[in-house]
Structure 1
Amino acid sequence: MMRRTAVALLLCASASSGAAWGAAAPVPVAAPSPSPAPKGVLPVNSSLVLELDDGLSTATASEGQTFRAHLASALTLDGIKVAAAGAPVIGTVTFVRRATAPDHDGYMSVRFSPLPLAGGIALPLRPLSTTWSVHVTAGQESTSAVTDDVKDILVPYHFLYRQFRKGSDLDLKPGSTVHALTMGTVRLMAGSPRVELLDPVRLGTSVPYTAVTPIPLFTPRPLITATPKPSSSPTPSATPAS
């Protein structure tokens, strides 16, 4: 009888403890969804799809080389076309590194010219990624590493071959698509697009820089006024007679 009473008390205590813990558990609150952009506005850092007209490869590209691209689809705001499909964009290679051994893939950096919009204005663009490289997923990288380990065991001198194995070059064919981000906000005003650029970041300690020092309009007054002090001169002596 005493044992049954003890078990019942233990069960009651466990149930009450569980209820208390359940009441203390916080209820997750869903994060508010971001408010959609108002009609007639293309926010800054919006993604645009560009299609390459020229091929581009890290094996043959050089710094300063230009290539052609165009807007893949028309850009419309509130039913008004602000940029037609096929609007031209010129890209420039700013840095390139070719594939080397062992297993170093090629990569490059580029910049884009502004995108022409209706009304004769232009929208500055920048690449989605600062570096273009060969895309390798984590699964592909893991599979390649395991394959090399197995070949090192089964294939004689495979570990030496890996030291001289060249990486892959980035090769973009004509028709490849790349993404660009807008560097300004596009708004429709009276049915015409307007571009609003971001203000540069200014610090409170920033000092304006100028490469030219202006010539003063007048000679500034010296801070210290000098008082003339005549020096003592020796007493002139008579000229000796000849």
Structure 2
Amino acid sequence: MGCHRTPATRRASAHRVRAAGRTAHVTPIRVVIADDQKLVRAGFGMILGAQPDIEVVGEAENGTEAIRVVRAARPDVALMDVRMPELDGLAATRELLIEGPVGRHVPKIIILTTFDVDDYVYEALAAGASGFLLKDTPPEQLVEAVRSVAAGDSLLAPSVTRRLIEHYVASRATEEAPPQGMDELTPREVEVFKLVARGLSNTEIASELVVSEATVKTHVARILLKLGLRDRVQVVVVAYESGLVRPGAER
């Protein structure tokens, strides 16, 4: 398996080569799919491989293989199932994002999960995953998720994401202390921080605060810089852990 290219993937790649001028010079988003179910890998691979701006560059059926394939293929995005044999997706995510060697390639990781069984979702977010996706997500949402994460966004907008985050963070003891650097935020940035933590998109925040989406993006960038956070997922983790935002709070 590893970086083996399936016939469907090769056909999709050939289609990209023949694509019209507007996509011919676009560097495709490189994706690795790690899941112990062959049908899941095949299905996701066909959906993603059919897109002109996405290329599936590898597959893995367990966490150990996922680490090897990601390091060899150097994808932009890795889809990682939580529960896999040999090494689970959480351990593989930690190894790739936190514990690996200096100078390693660091992809964006999307955790694949089912809503009611995975106990590791919160830990995966804390380990640095860019978000998570239900395995039965519609094809168009899968494609959009890969594009969004590759562009630097996080998968926080869907209501299911908020429920999952609230459930897993609520099960952990929180420290009633503001995150380091919080006192450096302006009152407006604090507002934006809390809205991001509750799962609102930039568009929703702009509507809530009656400002432009560009202004919201600027606020978010400054918040991440001041608090030393990598992305919006970490905003959620920090906000709930510190008690600044509580599960079930009104939007």
- TM, length-normalised to structure 1: 0.20
* Structure possessing the higher radius of gyration over alpha carbons: 1
- RCO comparison, higher one (Cα < 8 Å, 6+): 1
Structure ranking higher in strand proportion: 1
Structure ranking higher in helix proportion: 2
